Structure formats: structure tokens, C-alpha cells
Amino acid sequence: MPTTTEVQPSGTPSVMHPVSTRSHGDQRRLDLSRIAQDLQIRRNQVENVVQLLEEGNTIPFITRYRKERTGGLNEDMLRLIQQRVQHLRQLAERKQTILRSIDNQGKLTPELRAAILSADHPRRLEDLYLPYKPKKRTPATAAREKGLGPLALAIWHSDPAVNNLAEILAGMVHPEKELTTPEQVLQGVRHILAEMIAESADVRGAVRNVLWDTGKLCTSKSDKLAEGQGLEYKDYFQFTEPIRHIPPHRILAINRGEKENVLQVRLEWD
């Protein structure tokens, strides 16, 4: 990729970063207004900064010699804009990858497309994609292969057709499919419903918020740990801390302790 050379006011050439081949039309597909609103600056300031960066100018150069284009933004603000734009581009690219994947499966509805395109956070985006991601074989997979998917969906949508559920379950007994009793049919339906709940983006978001607001991470010494062993983790033998306050290094230490079978870990919430 070629580089550009720009002459500073002093006349000394300044070699810029390689010029990006990304089209300026990309700006129109990114929500630059959101960046401007979050940073409390004008949209045209964001647009100008993005254009200057795309032209290969460095942030120190823009800060010093392009004040009239940026409205006098400092280096910290320019770097923040750069990071936000990079985040938006990565999010946009991931959305297109997910849309293609679901479309190839023949499962992309207009409603799902709209939800994916409007997702404003990677976590929300991945929650929406989760039901369509390739996954390992699960009890729900086996239940669907036995033909229990339509019944699970009818229950999920409170279809009046399943009001007499006991009769329906009895009618779906099929020994050749290892569905020998109504209870086995119901168990298979439960597996499917449990997976649907676990993969619901709205449910996952709500549970995540509850855990973040009220959740606590609790650790204790493993019952299988011999006396005198695992003492490097003794600080976590009886430990509790709100999830939202735990620093990353402590999470890593607890993860190691659990992996080494020294610690038992559980979550508690209100």
C-alpha cells in the first residue's frame, strides 16, 4: 500500500501512515451522528476527522495543522473518534457476516434482519446470532430429530391447538423414535424449550442485566482438595464480591483456581 508525503508549514516533509483504500462512502453507512452525540461535538467535526485519517494523516499532524477542519479537537478526542469509528466498522462487518450465515441457512426473516442491523453492541449482536450458530449435538437437537420441534414451537407461542397437551403427548408416543411414553415426549419438548429460552437474545440480555446489578461471585475451597494443597489460592477459599466490582486479574486467578480443581465457584443474585 503506498504512503503519502505531506509538507508541513515549516517545509519539512512528514511521512504519513499508509493511505486506507476504504471509500469515503463508508462514512455514510456508519452512525457518525451517534459518535458526535456521545462525545458532544458536531457531526461535521467527526466527518472531517474521519476523512483526514482516511487520507493518511497522523493524529499529531491533524491536531497541530488541521485545527480549522477539526474545530480545535485535541489528540485525546481524535483518538477517541478513531476508536469509535473502528468499533462501528468492526460491528458493521460482523453484521454482514452474520446476515450471510443466517441467509445461507434460509432462516433470515425481515424482522431478524432489522434486529441485526439495529444492534448497537457486539454482545447484543452475538445474542441474536446464537440460535443460528453451528453448534454441537445437544438433547434439543435429538428431540428435534424425533419431530418434537413443531410441538415445542406451538407451546412457545401459546397456540390454542395445544390446550389439550396430555392427549397430544400420548398421540406422539413412537417407540421406534425412543419415545415410549408421554413423559419422554414431554422431556424432549422441555429440552427444546430450554434451549430456546437460553438462546433468546431478550432473555440473555435481561439475565445479564440482573447479574450485573445484583450478582455476586462466590468461591470456596474444593471439597476434594487435600489439606495443605492449593494454598496459593487461600485468599479465595471463602470469598464473595459483587460481579460488577471484580477486576480482570482477580477473574483470571479464580478461573485458574477452578481449572486446577482448587476452587469451587458459584454465582448468587437477588
The residue ranges of every structural domain in the chain are 1-134, 139-204, 215-268
pLDDT at 172: 95
Which distant-in-sequence residues (6+ apart) come within 8 Å of 156 by Cβ? 193, 196
pLDDT at 9: 41
pLDDT at 134: 86
**Of all residues in the chain, what percent carry a pLDDT higher than 90?**
82
Q: Give the tens place of pLDDT for each residue, 142-178.
A: 999 999 999 999 999 999 999 999 999 999 999 999 9
Q: How confident is the model at residue 34 (pLDDT cuts 50, 70, 90)?
A: confident
Position with higher pLDDT, 3 vs 183: 183
Q: Are 125 and 94 in contact (CB under 8 A)?
A: yes
Which distant-in-sequence residues (6+ apart) come within 8 Å of 217 by Cβ? 240, 241, 242, 243, 246, 254, 265, 267
Q: Are 170 and 151 in contact (CB under 8 A)?
A: no
pLDDT at 226: 86
The CATH number for 1-134, chosen from 3.40.50.2300, 1.10.10.650, 1.20.5.510, 1.10.1740.10, is 1.10.10.650
- Rounded to whole angstroms, how far apart are CA atoms 241 and 244? 9
pLDDT at 62 over 70: yes
Q: Give the tens place of pLDDT for each residue, 87-125.
A: 999 999 999 999 999 999 999 999 999 999 999 899 999
pLDDT at 3 over 70: no
